Amino acid sequence: MAENDDFVRKALNEFQRILRLSGPAASASYSLLGSIIIFSMGGYALDNHFLTFPLFLLVGLLLGLIVGFYGLYKFINK
């Protein structure tokens, strides 16, 4: 039974180590996706309000890409 507990403890420690190491990359990818989604949704809402369907959606998508990749660039060059 002690060998099984030791194996589980080692496996959980290794899993925690992997999660700790992958945290910054996950954070950068979430901020990239988040900015693209938020700006696109804002553009979509403006298009619905002003009845100019693809214009603000495309502008929002472009702004989201720029802001997202700028944040990713800042994260990489930290």
Does 2 have pLDDT greater than 90? no
Q: How far apart are CA 57 and CA 66, in angstroms?
A: 14
pLDDT tens per residue across span 53-65: 999 999 999 999 9
Provide the number of structural domains found in the chain: 1
Which domain covers residue 65, as residue numbers? 23-76
Task: Tell me, yes or no, whether 9 lies in a domain.
Answer: no
Task: Tell me, yes or no, whether 18 lies in a domain.
Answer: no
pLDDT band (50, 70, 90) for residue 1 = low
Task: Tell me, yes or no, whether 49 lies in a domain.
Answer: yes
pLDDT tens per residue across span 5-28: 899 999 999 999 999 999 999 999
Q: How far apart are CA 75 and CA 30, in angstroms?
A: 12
Does 47 have pLDDT greater than 70? yes
Task: Tell me, yes or no, whether 13 lies in a domain.
Answer: no
pLDDT of residue 3: 80
Check if the beta carbon of residue 26 is closer than 8 Å to that of residue 62: no
